[in-house]
């Protein structure tokens, strides 16, 4: 007998580890990525009311160990899933520490209008009042609704829906760690009932210009954190280590002192792309305010924080090394 066709959407659920799959150890500690995706799904039987889930364990790590190799695998697996007409959307479980970077990477390289939702948790799965089960339930609900289409990669946590491009982790341990300071929330989700606000304005997913193939080499891009009394040593060390791009987490409006500035100017002359972002955690870094970007050949990060600027610069450098073309990518 043929199986009856389920009216529920089919969602591909990829797992990478993180605290959402964490298990407490003796004392105050816990081990991220201890539990399998099967165990996480079994803990939320209500998921079966939302979607048919196809599950796949892509990696099993704390997201501090996330690598470009795993990013590429996730991107390829997500693209393949969403190219399947039977699949309505994708959910990816992920540690919260670097979730914004993985989400933004996928936002730029996966070409699909179908929903892609990353989800994590701040408390391990075995902790008192773990937040993972509701976050997972909400993430699947968001991925299963057609209203989430064409919104780019989304991050669901703490009853909120964030755009991967806009969100940042802002607190070490608290549940409300994710903030989208500049452009606000993508929406809210109450016990599986999503409410969406305005769509994103910058290019993403189906409209992204970045195409990742197995042969695309991703260049080394380093982040250097600026501070009072900074010299040029770390900038020179990054260039010597082979960086093709540098993101400066500058003081204030993406500034840096004279010795570091001179090192960045020398790096540009040697073909290294230099992006000025800010260590402040908010605001726009504009061109040519205290630093003459036109003369020095620097790129302003616009509103991207240093870790997001690094993701974009890695991909942008696969297309061009021209500072003006790179700047255009940062503003679009």
Contacts to ligand SIN by CB under 6 A: 18-19, 32, 62-63, 95-97, 120, 122
Residue 132 CB, nearest approach to ligand SIN (Å): 9
Pick 120 or 194: Cβ nearer ligand SIN: 120
Contacts of 91 (CB under 8 A, 6+ apart): 11, 12, 13, 14, 117, 118, 119, 136, 139, 140, 143
Residue 126 CB, nearest approach to ligand SIN (Å): 14
Q: 225: which 2 tokens?
A: 């954190």
Question: In angstroms, what CA-CA distances link 155 with 53, 90, 92, 151, 221?
Answer: 19, 12, 9, 11, 24
Active site residue 25: no
Residue 111 exposed, middle or buried by CB count within 10 Å (0-12, 13-18, 19+): middle
- Alpha-carbon distance of 187 to 167, in angstroms, equals 12
Helices (H), 154-232: none
**Look-up: residue for tokens 């870094």?**
285
Pick 32 or 311: Cβ nearer ligand SIN: 32
The catalytic residue among 19, 93, 98, 145 is 19
Q: What is the DSSP letter of 218?
A: P
Residue 122 CB, nearest approach to ligand SIN (Å): 5
Residue 226 CB, nearest approach to ligand SIN (Å): 25
Pick 32 or 108: Cβ nearer ligand SIN: 32
Residue nearest ligand SIN (C-beta atom) = 95
Pick 122 or 261: Cβ nearer ligand SIN: 122
- Alpha-carbon distance of 46 to 329, in angstroms, equals 42
Catalytic residues: 19
């Amino acid at each position: 007998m043929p199986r009856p066709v389920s009216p529920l959407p089919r969602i591909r659920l990829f797992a990478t580890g993180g605290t959402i799959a964490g298990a407490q150890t003796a004392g105050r500690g816990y081990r991220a990525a201890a539990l399998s995706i099967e165990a996480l799904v079994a803990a939320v039987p209500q998921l079966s009311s939302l979607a048919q889930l196809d599950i796949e364990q892509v990696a099993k790590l704390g997201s501090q160990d996330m690598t470009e190799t795993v990013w590429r695998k996730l991107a390829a697996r997500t693209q393949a899933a969403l190219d399947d007409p039977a699949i309505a959307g994708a959910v990816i479980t992920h540690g919260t520490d670097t979730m914004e970077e993985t989400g933004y990477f996928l936002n730029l390289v996966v070409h699909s209008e179908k929903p892609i939702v990353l989800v994590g948790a701040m408390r391990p799965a075995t902790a008192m009042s773990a937040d993972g089960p509701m976050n997972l339930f909400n993430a699947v609900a968001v991925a299963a609704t057609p209203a989430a289409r064409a919104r780019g990669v989304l991050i669901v946590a703490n009853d909120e829906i964030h755009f991967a491009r806009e969100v940042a982790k802002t607190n070490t341990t608290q549940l409300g760690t994710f903030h989208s300071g500049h452009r606000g929330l993508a929406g809210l989700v109450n016990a599986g009932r999503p409410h969406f606000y305005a769509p994103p304005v910058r290019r993403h997913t189906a409209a992204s210009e970045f195409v990742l193939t197995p042969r695309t080499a991703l260049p080394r891009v380093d982040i250097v954190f600026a501070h009072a009394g900074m010299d040029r040593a770390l900038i020179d060390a990054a260039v010597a280590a082979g960086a093709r791009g540098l993101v400066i987490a500058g003081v204030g409006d993406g500034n840096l002192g004279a010795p570091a500035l001179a090192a960045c100017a020398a790096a540009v002359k040697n073909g290294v792309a230099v992006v000025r972002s800010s260590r402040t955690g908010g605001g726009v870094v504009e061109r040519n305010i205290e630093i003459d970007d036109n003369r020095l050949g620097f790129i302003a990060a616009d509103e991207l924080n240093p870790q997001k600027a690094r993701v974009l610069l890695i991909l942008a450098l696969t297309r061009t090394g021209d500072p003006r073309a790179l700047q255009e990518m940062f503003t679009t």
